[in-house]
Structure 1
Amino acid sequence: MNAVVAAVLIMLVLSLARIHVVVALIVGAVSGGLIAGMSLNDTIDAFNNGLGGGAKVALSYAVLGAFAVAIGKSGLANLLAEKILAKVGRSEDHTAVKSVRFMIIAILVAIALSSQNILPIHIAFIPLVVPPLLYVMAKLKMDRRMVACALTFGLITPYMFIPIGFGGIYLNEILMAKISANGGDVEGLSVMKAMALPALGMLCGLLVAIFITYRGERNYNLSAITRVEKVNTTYKPMTLVMALAAIVVTFVVQLWLGSMILGALAGFLLFNLSGVVKWKEADDLFTEGMKMLAMIGFIMIAASGFAEVMRETGEITTLVQSSVDIIGANKALAALLMLLVGLMITLGIGSSFSTIPIIAALYVPMALEMGFSSMAIIALVGTAGALGDAGSPASDSTLGPTAGLNADGQHNHIWDSVVPTFLHFNLPLLGFGWVAAMVL
């Protein structure tokens, strides 16, 4: 068996068996290296060399966690939650409850979509917005798996369809550039038109999650939420104003300097200087916030090590090449296998942006030789890269939602984020991406 496939399967099986994702990534990486014929020392060295790739992201999320706790202390987010609860009041009217549910989902999807292009902060908004809404969601008996799907949809769909912000990087700087570099003619072609069907598949998955799969009620422990959130029902105008100012400062600094770390730090310091967070409390509060997002940081670091081992094995290229040998002249089978290989690679390394350079070198010449149009090649390679971002235990598109929804310990990363997003997005994306490759 191909070492990359074996490593990814081992990692996924261990994760599904509720082994911690960090442990699953380490075991999967070591197993993949040994299966590929690398020595144990070489495998460990490759893993260690890759760890630094996730350190920046891990530190960013840790500082952001401290800022999120400071926002919670100001009472701003709790005030927002109370306003939403007031929409329902004390009525048991199911229509009112459903309308508020949809309002929350619509707000979260809108923010997530905006976080990829209008205000490109990616998952930075999740620990600020989601934890204070957990009490409201629990009162409404909302299934958090639906919320996880909504957030993941908003994090992925814009970059694979709209060439602005992160989408400009994925679609123009990576996808179109790599296709052109490997012999494809993309001059004057619309990347949005090519990726429209795959994006429609994502939308279909979201609608199924909201209106069919997770439309029912699910109970959560309210006391566990209040213990974590430490609900503050006293709102002082000055603290609310400073909280809004801190959010603005954080976003402005991040966009200005391109650093999530400095942005979150600037917001946290403003809380200190304004007195919302007392100096004697700052150290404990900062530590508490870092703990909140510690898991996502360690997973991202381990995922970088896993990806480096997979590259060092040299069997990613072998995996792609072996699919070429199976295909023959069958275009339909070729499209399907190319998408499946892309799914496997991204599931393992957790990054669509890193998958495109790996697969484009072989996919583009092969697709041209088999007679795929340039539009079909864009859809094929673009979808192959995006497949697996949803549903990967190591992707920030699943780690981000978990970081917010599991603030009270009632949302399992694998079974409540990874599995639901895998089923609702990868399956339709696979189908719609295949159709796009065949009809364009």
Structure 2
Amino acid sequence: MNAVILAVLVMIVLSLMRVHVVIALIGGAMIGGITAGFSITETVEIFTSGLGANASVALSYAMLGAFAVAISYTGLPNLLVKFAIKVVGREGEDRKKTMTKVLLLFVIAIVASFSQNLVPVHIAFIPILIPPLLKVFNELALDRRAAATALTFGLKAPYILIPAGYGLIFHDIVVTNMEENGMSVNMDMVPQALMIPVSGMVVGLIIAIFISYKKSRRYENREFTSNEEAATYHYTLPGVVIGIIAILTVLIAQIQTDSMVFGALTGLIILYVYFGYLHIKKEFSLNQSEELMTGGMKMLAFIGFVMITAGGFAEVIRETGHVDLLVDSTSGWIGNNHGLAAIVMLIIGLFITMGIGSSFATIPIIAAIFVPLAAAIGLSPMATIALIGTAGALGDAGSPASDSTLGPTAGLNADGQHNHIWDTCVPTFLHFNIPLIIFGWLAAMIL
């Protein structure tokens, strides 16, 4: 049995059985390492060596969690709830609620899209924007699985298609690695080749919003802060203005320094200055600052541990050497059947990306596999780009270890009512990976 396939299958099965995803990742890595011929000790050493790969991301989440909790003390969540009630109107206006939910979901998808190309902050905006909106979602009885698909769509589709921001990096990685493996392509070819696969994601998003998760879903109005005072903290004009300034500062600082940690830190400094002002007015105790930080870190500690563990899992997969074996074992019986080759290549890409959890990190691996295979059976450069780009996106949307799923969960589970596997990973896998396979295959056939 191929170690890569077995490791990913174990991780997925354990996750679907509601085994904690950290345990599932460790279990999958151990099985993969042992299958590849490593001893338990060697597997643990390889796994441990990869843990530091995502440490900075984990710290970033902790800082952003503290910032998200601190924002709740400005009164912004209560203002949003009041606005939502005004928009929704009287109880029973189902049509108006439905229109509001659809509009809100598309706005979320657009904001997430901006985070990839226009204002390239990636997932940094989610812990800031989404937790204060949870009460709004509850008021609308909005199914958070629809919000998860909207967020994941915005985190993936724009950089796959548009050569700006993270998209420019993604396209450059595709072109560079294809050329290094002997196939001549240019940057202009990438968006043309990936237009069809991305249209599949658009179809998946529309199905999720208008069909799969159209019905209302009730949630409790829980507070996501560790201090009940924030729940009753009424908004004031100065508080709202400071909150907006802090959010904008975080985004600007993150763009300028390319550091989520520094961005969150600048936002926290602004809020602490505001809290100091409230302390002078005896409206806020500075002793709460430590509780604020701890509470925020607890909120996103889960995400940080998953990211760190995913680094170890990916390292084991790389070190097994079974990625090459996976290719060798399939290339022989594919022959010159383009249709069969395309679907097999996409499935291989799905398994590799599901395991590593990053389309950016897997493009070099996928290109090394796909370019020689595509050239051998006579696929065009455009078709090869479509397969590589689609395979890179596959699995990233539904992987438990991907930041495209961890980010949405970080925001939507702030009050503990959104399951990472069943409410984020499964919906995004069904609505994006299945259309990506279909439309990616069509692109390979057409191009």
TM-score range, shorter chain: over 0.9
Q: How far off is 1:107 after superposition?
A: 1.6
Partner Cα separation in structure 1 for residue 137 and residue 441 of structure 2: 37
Task: Determine the structure 2 residue equivalent to 1:247.
Answer: 247
TM-score, normalised on structure 1?
Answer: 0.96
Aligned 1:327-346 pairs, distance under 5 A: 327-346=334-353
Aligned-partner residue type, residue 273 of structure 2 = L
Report what 1:412 is aligned to. 419
Q: C-alpha distance in 1, partners of 2:426/2:213?
A: 13
**8 Å contact 1:179–1:364 — kept in the other structure?**
yes
Q: Report how many aligned residue pairs link the two structures.
A: 439
Alignment equivalent of 1:395, drawn from 376, 389, 402? 402
* Cα distance in 2 between the residues matched to 1:185 and 1:228: 58
Counting only pairs closer than 5 Å after superposition, residues 241-320 of structure 1 correspond to structure 2 as: 241-275=241-275, 278-320=285-327
- After TM superposition, give the deviation of residue 127 of structure 1 in Å: 1.4
Change (3 A) 1:66 1:233: closer
1:205 aligns with 2:212: no
Q: 1:65 corresponds to which residue?
A: 65
Q: Is the 8 A contact 1:351 1:395 kept in 2?
A: yes
Give the CA deviation at 1:233: 5.4
Taking the aligned partners of 1:257 and 1:278, their CA distance within structure 2 comes to 32
Cα distance in 1 for partners of 2:177, 2:78 equals 46
Contact 2:78 2:234 in 1 (8 A): no
Is the Cα contact below 8 Å between 2:51 and 2:308 reproduced in 1?
yes
For 1:119 and 1:70, locate their aligned partners in 2 and report how far apart those are by CA, in whole Å: 23
Matched to 1:63, the amino acid is: M
Counterparts of 1:78 and 1:185 in 2: how far apart (Å)?
55
Shift of 1:153: 0.6
Q: Provide the rounded CA distance (Å) in 1 between the counterparts of 2:120 and 2:386.
A: 24
Deviation at 1:91, TM superposition (A): 4.1
Distance 2:81 2:123 in 1: 20
Output the CA distance in 2 between the equivalents of 1:337 and 1:278: 60
Q: 1:65 touches 1:127 (CA, 8 Å); kept in 2?
A: yes
Flag the 1:130–1:4 CA change in 2: closer, same or farther, 3 A.
same
Q: 2:76–2:132: 8 Å Cα contact kept in structure 1?
A: no
Partners in 2 of 1:9 and 1:369 — Cα distance?
A: 29
1:177 is aligned with what amino acid? T
How much has 1:327 moved relative to structure 2?
1.0
Aligned partners of 1:250 and 1:263 also within 8 Å: yes
The separation in 2 between residues aligned to 1:392 and 1:399, in whole angstroms, is: 9
Looking at structure 2, the residues matched to 120 and 231 of structure 1 have their Cα atoms a distance apart, in angstroms, of 32
- Is 1:434 the counterpart of 2:441 in the alignment? yes
Structure 1 pair 400–228 and aligned structure 2 pair: CA distance change class (3 A): farther
Change (3 A) 1:437 1:278: farther
Per the normalisation by structure 2, the TM-score is 0.95
Give secondary structure in 1 for the equivalent of 2:309: helix
Query: Quick one: which amino acid aligns to residue 182 of structure 1?
Result: N
In structure 2, distance between residues paired with 1:20 and 1:202: 28
The gaps in structure 2 that reach 5 residues or longer are 279-283
Which residue is 2:354 aligned to? 347
Aligned mates of 1:212, 1:240 — CA distance in 2: 36
Q: Pairwise CA RMSD of aligned residues?
A: 1.6
The aligned residue for residue 50 of structure 2 is 50
Question: Which whole-Å CA distance do the structure 1 matches of 2:267 and 2:436 have between them?
Answer: 38
For 2:133 and 2:197, the matched residues in 1 are separated by 31
Moved more, 212-221 or 49-58: 212-221
